[in-house]
Chains A and B, each alone.
Chain A
Amino acid sequence: MGLELYLDLLSQPCRAVYIFAKKNGIPFELRAVELLKGQHLSDAFAQVNPLKKVPALKDGDFTLTESVAILLYLTRKYEVPDHWYPQDLQARARVDEYLAWQHTTLRRNCLRALWHKVMLPVFLGEPVSPQMLAATLAELDETLQLLEDQFLQNKAFLAGPHISLADLVAVTELMHPVGAGCQIFEGRPKLAAWQQRVVAAVGEELFREAHEVILKARDSPPADPIIKQKLMPGVLAMIR
C-alpha cells in the first residue's frame, strides 16, 4: 500500500495538502473523510487518527497528522522544487515564521468567518447574532491587514520572490471566507494581486478543483438532527 491521504476538501489544511501533492506529482490514494457526515468521528477513522481530525497521512506503517507536518514530510521525502521550502536558512525561516504564526490567527479567523456566517446558520440551523458575526468579521479584517503589512509587504510572495508552503497554506485558508461570501479582496489590491500570482503558480485548474467543495458551502443542505447532535460539540470546540 502506497501513500494514503485522508482528506475532506471542505477543510482548509486538507486543500493545502491536496494541492501540494497533486502539483508535485506525488502519487497517493485519496481516502475521503466526509466531515459533514461525521465520518471523522467513526471508529474506523479513529484507527488512523485518534484525535479524529483531517488531514491525516499513512505511509506504510507510518501515520502522521497536522497539515504543516504533512506538508514538510512530503517536501522532504519527495524532494520537491526548492522554492516550496528553501534550503537557504533565512529564506526557510521566513516560511517557518508564517507557518507558525497562521495557526492562531489567519486559520482561526477564516474558520470562524465560515462557521459564523454560513455553516452554523445554514448547515446546523444555529443562528448567530449579528454582533457575533460582526466581531468575527472585524477580527478577520485585522488579520488580513497583518498578513499584508507584516508578511506580504512588497514581495511577490509571502516569504520571498517565489511561491512557498506559506503561500499555499495562506491562500487555501482565505478561500474559507470567500466560500462564505465575504469579499475579502475588495479594497485590498495588493492581496488580490498576490492571490492571482499564487493561483497562476499552482495552476488554475488544480486550484479550481481543490476549491469546488468550499465554494458550494453556502448550498449545504441542513444537517439531520442526529448528525447535528454528533457534530455540535466538535464544531463548538473548533471555533472557540
Chain B
Amino acid sequence: MGLELYLDLLSQPCRAVYIFAKKNGIPFELRAVELLKGHASKEFFQVNSLQRVPALKDGDFILTESTAILIYLSCKCQTADHWYPADLQARAHIHEYLGWHADCIRGTFGVPLWIRVLAPLIGTQVPEEKVDRNRTAMDRALQQLEDKFLGDMAFLVGQQVTLADLMALEELIQPVAVGYDVFEGRQRLAAWRGRVEAFLGAKLCQEAHGLILTILAQEAKKTLPVPPPEAYLGMLRHISRIP
C-alpha cells in the first residue's frame, strides 16, 4: 500500500495538503473523510484516534498536522526548493509565518462557515457577539498578513510560492465560500491570491475548491449531509469554544 491521505476538502488544511500533493505529482490514495457525517468510519478511527484531518499514512507510519505533513512530503518527495527552501533564513521565514498563522489565522477564518452553515445545520446559532469578535479578529489578521508578511513582495515570505502561501490561501477561501469576501478592498491580497492561483493552475484550483465554493448552493438545495446525533456534542462544544 502506497501513500494514503485522509482528507475532507471542506477543511482548509486538507486542501493545502491535497493541492501540494497534486501540484507536485505525488502519487497517493485519497481516503475521503466526510466531517459532516461525523467520522463514522472505524477504519479512520484506527488511523487517527485524534479523529482529525488531514492525516497521512505511509506504510505503518501515521502522521497528523498539515504543517508536519507538508514538510514530510516536501522532503520525502524532494519537491522543488521554492516550496520549503533549504536556505536558512528563507526557511526560518516560513516557520515564522506558520507560527503566526497558528495563532491568528487558524481557528479564526474557519468561524464564518460555522456561523453561516454548520451551526444552523444542527439547529443552533453562533451568538452575535462572537460573530462581531470574529470579524474584528479577521480584519486585524488580514491587515497584519498584508503589512508584515506580504508587504510588497510577490508571495508571503519571498518572491516565490511556498508552503506558507498554500496554508494562507486555503484559510482565506473559507470565509469567501460563505459570502464574506476577505479580498474585497484589499488589493494587495487580492493580487497575491491571483498569483498563487495562477501558479497552481485553474484546473487544480477548481478541483480543490469546488466543494467548499459550492457549500451555500448545497445548503440551499438541502443536499448537505445532516450530521448524525453523535456528532452534535462535538459540534456544540466547538461552537461554545469560539471566542
Binding site for B on A (CB under 8 A): 50-51, 62, 64-70, 72-73, 76-77, 89-90, 92-94, 96-97, 99-101, 103-104, 146, 150, 240
Contact = CB atoms under 8 A, between A and B. Distances in A.
Contacts of A77: 88
Contacts of A68: 95, 98-99
A69 B102 contact: no
Nearest to B133: A240
A89 B74 CA distance: 11
Given A51-B144, A66-B95, A66-B100, A104 B61 contact: no
B95 A150 contact: no
Residue from A51, A69, A89 with most neighbouring chain B CB atoms (10 Å):
A69
Residue from A62, A65, A66, A76 with most neighbouring chain B CB atoms (10 Å):
A66
Contacts of A92: 71
Nearest to B65: A100
B100 A97 contact: no
A97 B63 contact: yes
A108 B75 CA distance: 30
A90 B75 CA distance: 10
Contacts of A89: 72, 75-76
B68 A69 contact: no
Given A66-B100, A96-B65, 5 more contacts: A66-B99, A67-B99, A73-B92, A93-B71, A104-B103
A90 B61 contact: yes
A68 B91 CA distance: 12
Contacts of B72: 89-90, 93, 96
Contact of A51 (B64, B65, B100, B107): B100
Given A50-B148, A89-B75, A97 B68 contact: yes
A92 B61 CA distance: 12
B223 interface: no
A138 to B, nearest CB: 11
B49 interface: yes
Contacts of B107: 104
Contacts of B102: 100, 103-104
Interface in B214-243: 243
Contacts of B95: 66, 68-69, 72-73
Contacts of A93: 61, 63, 68, 71-72
B187 interface: no
26 contacts: A51-B144, A62-B89, A66-B100, A68-B99, A69-B98, A69-B99, A72-B91, A72-B92, A73-B89, A76-B88, A76-B91, A77-B88, A92-B71, A93-B63, A93-B72, A94-B63, A96-B65, A96-B67, A96-B71, A97-B63, A100-B67, A101-B64, A103-B99, A103-B106, A104-B107, A150-B49
